[in-house]
Structure 1
């Protein structure tokens, strides 16, 4: 990418201060940029050969610099140079030598190229400006006008209780898929290809949760090591679909391709949820590059000083571990976030959002505040409040772990669910008390403020950490390829390698590992709440023990469709199918533990010890207890269908046995059940027991470390 400056004369009309960004009206484009402290703003237009034309915006309205350029239309590449004081000691980092990306750009063209000119400060003195031109090395915005034929497509609005989430990376999903054409692999079009969509349908998932697709760039420290940011948690543009995931090859083509992907997934009955990173940006700390927000209005966009930075405005408050924190307390920043969210719902038809490090957004001053402006604005917004909202309820700051503390209508990644389930199956002596809460929707976390069980997004693995296969094969992370001397990534993973670290050919160990994978997945899919599967866990995907593969844009991270475990895939599809056809396994209301009228004494929820008796108070506090039976009565459901009729379904007895030896369990007789049908058992590779599967009340022998799901016969 080259850039030279031209003095081409173009008439710039006053234009309008709203909406922000670049908007084509059929004969010209209106440009509007917010900056409270700038003394001048240059609009920079680029020819296809990289020649730059600068035009000073003469109009400001309510801190918005604006102008309309006749004749400029879709496909035009542009950026800004912002004039003002360079005084980091007061929080000001204006430097017109740096080309800046429009925060409201709908599409982005070009890559970030590592160069010293990316930095607004002089490398020899951080309080002096650097005068080198950064334009040849940074991405530019693109004027977009897209009249996509939605043809009646609308948000799916799948009920939370029916939702099964599949967390997936756009590129990694299809880069190695043999049935996706090579030119579409790793793109939005690849994700929408029938070969991949059919996999989702046959698996039974109802929503994909896409790792970040907002335009992002790689951190300089990764580029220096020859690596890139694969996961994408380094956002630069909150309105633009990431350009590298587009197969179109045209500036702005990613917008149309993204919409086509959403439309195809909707046609298959699959919602699209975006993992969004509004807590920090790609510009890093005081030593980082100046790519957009820093140079437009540093003190307006970021939290300066504060915890970890003293009272020094030249430093950034860092609640995210990524160098900076966006200041959502400021109206312009809050407006940016809400404008972005509404855009992705109304224009791009996405069905919801998962907010990365959401606690950072909730901080009004220092403490996490349930009543912060961000929550208030989201709650009252008629567009954003109507879609699925998922919080990652923690950040890295003091008091940032807030699982269970987000207000309605938020749901949460339930980190306590992950920890409890891992503890149980790794053999930790933790008893069953906490497990019972997690299996039944975590009422201890979500009931008090009126939320329902689906406030808990249950997961055992996610993009961050071991894959399911690695969770049972490694106890020590193997992150050397990341170039950080294996210091990165979580060291306490609450897992067990089944007695051998890493790869093995021992058939007994491999059989046990397979069963442990199925135990984790069965627990997840039989629990009340919203299950989230991590892409590839249903295929047996491994990362070779790397539990922080954020910079591995290669075979380490991509799904390997040539090395799938077909039995495991069948197991997951079977378990998802059981869940989707049984209302008792996806409750809309919390259990009461009360008697179900007309049943002769059964309860909507009951817990059994191996001897067939209901658990006593002593049992609940016995940390050595590793076996529990969960009874769910499908006749005692407290929700109704759309016509107000009571919902009635099958009743279940689910046994979880985490002990290292086989155990005899007693299947209770009347009134609990006249008989039982074993429909899922983790000792079998596909989860389907051989015939016969009918079991009478009485004693039955369970293998070590196994899960049974029994449908009750009356």
Structure 2
């Protein structure tokens, strides 16, 4: 007998060895969907532990009681279902949008015929020995709902205590105020033609969907801060040279109550890393917030980017959810119950060994149970929905080490070799894009979490790219920590050439390294070179916010503004010249600053939105960024498939990159390993890449004073031409020379002085 995907998953446990459960995407068709005749809606939801589930139907999102209450039927594999016809909806008085939610009973709160909304009939405990947290007074959202009606708390309902369990709140009914699922009829709206470009050829631009345009006067006022507005910036990003836009979380999260009128609440959630639903596009970023509007508008935005040849990547959070953890330390009773916790808490969340509390490897309340096959199904099914229906091209996974967990209940262990972990499930069911390009998705990990063996830079399995935190640290320390932190030229060389020590040992390639100097989580590019430390406790709109790393490897360059800009040019240039995939953060091309706040997660404010009114210095920097991106894109030698080596027809290894000391001598192990050396140069043979120039030469001087570099051989009949020098003397709109306008420098053995903390780029012609 062939088992359904959920039935098969139900047979597996965390101790089962062998292949992971795989099958068709959402084989049990969980969620709410119309049938082929469009005359019936099928409702299906998973719970292996519930003893009774009822579907509640509503004619409006909030403020009214249900119009129908339907007992569902439990089937195989823990799937509960019912079908509601269009005629039945009419008889209930539902003639427009169908809003729905669920109430569930289980071992800790069995069904009692005396139960009414807001009563304690049948109650035994808030949590039982198995970790169940059923509470029929809490209307539950469908984990597979395609849109949600509103956030749990919002301007018209600010009391979040109603969603809690525990002795003070368990009998508070949430039916009239809780978010409802919205039944969508489906559409055939185009998402355009997906780019098939190899990931190695991408330049990633990480940005907040709202912050991108909220302060942009070139966007119509009604479109600012929306998916529609973001789509209207596609042409700008294409002109900058960006090939992939990576949005901070756009799945539904609690942000309806964010302050946007000049005052700050430290409880605001601007970034969006507390997901309420993994399928629904966040309504707050839609100009059209009517049912179905966010989905349509998101798809239209995706098409706008695809029409410009730009991939759309989204930041996803499958390590924890917006239900959070315990309200109070040592209180096992009081937890939020929005959806998954009230449906099947031990399936969807990792618990402590006694099943009484959340197990926390994220620092934000508790882990999603990523090693449970059913919980994995939800991850894979939602990723497939965003890929296939909403048109996205790839994902950045927040705290992705949690997806490599190999055990449940009171433990954490990352093991990339476990075929049943979520990381390998994702690769198996959502194939990554091939090295040469084609169909597939980008899978990008933030390769760390909190505690245990969760720091895994370079430790992810095949198929995964990673944010290279060691690249960030090396560049920052070499620029900002001279005399304080030892960074050898060997370490620099390894990072600039694609980090083979991290990605070459398991068959991965340079492009599996996503190189970045800054990300949303921390200082902006300007601030990392303008701030000696964080300043998070400042007045709105730049603060206050809590948290933030105390070790930023930042420095204000002695307070000299010109040197701050030079340092930012170096950081950006080195990314564009390194093997791997460069990622910049939205606004870095215009020297965006948040006044030294390095954790502005809660600042939905003008201080945190991108500013599109630039000074001359900002315009010059934007021209520099645009020029360096164009240079990278014009030279395939900067985008290697392998670690700068190839094999000829005779089996000989051909080195495509050579390292030099400033003297012109080839850098050897003694030079690389000496912590007193701070300048390194390299020459890339472009001929083997079909490059337009025979060679590229880069000299990086991390010393505080100038260093003379003796130039190597440029090739027979060639001389060196300057593309850019990041030093202050060259600052201006044309600091990166356009092709054909490069400056003549000279041939082999020419000496060139590079300023302190400067970078030189030459090509041979």
TM-score using structure 1 length: 0.89
More strand by share: 1
For 2:467 and 2:702, how far apart are their aligned partners in 1?
24
Superposition pairs of residues 533-552 of structure 1, within 5 angstroms: 533-552=584-603
Are 2:258 and 2:604, in contact at CA under 8 Å, matched by a contact in 1? Answer: no
Give a deviation string over 1:452-489, Cα, whole Å, max 9, x none.
11010100100000001111111211111599987510
Are 1:357 and 1:391, in contact at CA under 8 Å, matched by a contact in 2? Answer: yes
The aligned residue for residue 5 of structure 2 is none
User: Aligned in 2, Cα 1:521/1:30: closer, same or farther, shift over 3 Å?
Assistant: same
For 2:145 and 2:472, how far apart are their aligned partners in 1?
37
Does residue 421 of structure 2 align to residue 379 of structure 1? no
Specify which of 240, 247, 251 is matched with residue 203 of structure 1. Answer: 240
Specify which of 375, 386, 389 is matched with residue 347 of structure 1. Answer: 389
Specify which of 21, 30, 53 is matched with residue 31 of structure 2. Answer: 21
Specify which of 482, 491, 499 is matched with residue 434 of structure 1. Answer: 491
For 2:151 and 2:742, how far apart are their aligned partners in 1?
59
For 1:486 and 1:253, how far apart are their aligned partners in 2?
33
Does residue 459 of structure 2 align to residue 417 of structure 1? no
For 1:452 and 1:363, how far apart are their aligned partners in 2?
24
Are 2:152 and 2:179, in contact at CA under 8 Å, matched by a contact in 1? Answer: yes
The aligned residue for residue 661 of structure 2 is 609
For 1:629 and 1:576, how far apart are their aligned partners in 2?
20
Give a deviation string over 1:354-373, Cα, whole Å, max 9, x none.
11111101111221011332
Does residue 44 of structure 2 align to residue 32 of structure 1? yes
Are 1:17 and 1:64, in contact at CA under 8 Å, matched by a contact in 2? Answer: no
Are 1:209 and 1:272, in contact at CA under 8 Å, matched by a contact in 2? Answer: yes
The aligned residue for residue 747 of structure 2 is 696
Give a deviation string over 1:76-131, Cα, whole Å, max 9, x none.
1111111222442421111111111110000111122242543432355xxxx710
Superposition pairs of residues 354-365 of structure 1, within 5 angstroms: 354-365=396-407
For 2:283 and 2:255, how far apart are their aligned partners in 1?
13
Tell me which moved more, 173-182 or 659-668.
659-668
Secondary structure, counterpart of 1:237 in structure 2: coil
Secondary structure, counterpart of 2:630 in structure 1: helix
Specify which of 491, 503, 518 is matched with residue 461 of structure 1. Answer: 518
The aligned residue for residue 723 of structure 2 is 679
The aligned residue for residue 111 of structure 2 is none
For 1:633 and 1:595, how far apart are their aligned partners in 2?
15
The aligned residue for residue 331 of structure 2 is none
Are 2:152 and 2:160, in contact at CA under 8 Å, matched by a contact in 1? Answer: no
Superposition pairs of residues 221-240 of structure 1, within 5 angstroms: 225=265, 227-240=267-280
Are 2:545 and 2:602, in contact at CA under 8 Å, matched by a contact in 1? Answer: no
Tell me which moved more, 338-347 or 40-49.
40-49
- Unaligned stretches of 5+ in structure 1? 1-15, 306-310, 501-508, 638-645
The aligned residue for residue 60 of structure 1 is 74
Does residue 260 of structure 2 align to residue 217 of structure 1? no
For 1:526 and 1:254, how far apart are their aligned partners in 2?
39
Does residue 340 of structure 2 align to residue 326 of structure 1? no
Specify which of 152, 165, 169 is matched with residue 112 of structure 1. Answer: 152
Secondary structure, counterpart of 1:235 in structure 2: coil
User: Aligned in 2, Cα 1:327/1:226: closer, same or farther, shift over 3 Å?
Assistant: closer
**RMSD of aligned alpha carbons:** 2.6
For 2:337 and 2:198, how far apart are their aligned partners in 1?
43
Does residue 346 of structure 2 align to residue 299 of structure 1? yes
For 1:211 and 1:562, how far apart are their aligned partners in 2?
23
Q: CA deviation at 1:52?
A: 1.7
Superposition pairs of residues 178-193 of structure 1, within 5 angstroms: 178-193=217-232
For 1:200 and 1:419, how far apart are their aligned partners in 2?
27
Give a deviation string over 1:17-54, Cα, whole Å, max 9, x none.
93111102311211111111112112111223633234
Specify which of 570, 581, 603 is matched with residue 634 of structure 2. Answer: 581
Tell me which moved more, 652-661 or 49-58.
49-58
For 1:413 and 1:695, how far apart are their aligned partners in 2?
38
User: Aligned in 2, Cα 1:593/1:702: closer, same or farther, shift over 3 Å?
Assistant: farther
For 1:300 and 1:119, how far apart are their aligned partners in 2?
20
The aligned residue for residue 18 of structure 2 is none
For 1:51 and 1:235, how far apart are their aligned partners in 2?
26
Count of residues paired in the alignment? 667
User: Aligned in 2, Cα 1:408/1:672: closer, same or farther, shift over 3 Å?
Assistant: farther
Tell me which moved more, 166-175 or 659-668.
659-668
Are 1:154 and 1:349, in contact at CA under 8 Å, matched by a contact in 2? Answer: no
Give a deviation string over 1:358-398, Cα, whole Å, max 9, x none.
11011112210113322332232255672111111111121
Does residue 184 of structure 2 align to residue 144 of structure 1? yes
Give a deviation string over 1:326-362, Cα, whole Å, max 9, x none.
1122221111111111111111111011111111011
For 2:647 and 2:589, how far apart are their aligned partners in 1?
36
Does residue 137 of structure 2 align to residue 97 of structure 1? yes
Are 1:97 and 1:132, in contact at CA under 8 Å, matched by a contact in 2? Answer: yes
Secondary structure, counterpart of 1:75 in structure 2: coil
Are 1:658 and 1:704, in contact at CA under 8 Å, matched by a contact in 2? Answer: yes
- Unaligned stretches of 5+ in structure 2? 1-25, 90-94, 109-124, 328-334, 434-439
User: Aligned in 2, Cα 1:580/1:375: closer, same or farther, shift over 3 Å?
Assistant: same
For 2:256 and 2:633, how far apart are their aligned partners in 1?
42
Tell me which moved more, 221-230 or 527-536.
221-230
The aligned residue for residue 75 of structure 1 is 97
User: Aligned in 2, Cα 1:17/1:610: closer, same or farther, shift over 3 Å?
Assistant: closer
The aligned residue for residue 4 of structure 2 is none
Are 1:276 and 1:355, in contact at CA under 8 Å, matched by a contact in 2? Answer: yes
Q: CA deviation at 1:219?
A: 11
For 2:698 and 2:205, how far apart are their aligned partners in 1?
24
Specify which of 294, 300, 324 is matched with residue 284 of structure 1. Answer: 324
Are 2:521 and 2:599, in contact at CA under 8 Å, matched by a contact in 1? Answer: yes
Tell me which moved more, 625-634 or 424-433.
424-433
Specify which of 495, 507, 520 is matched with residue 571 of structure 2. Answer: 520
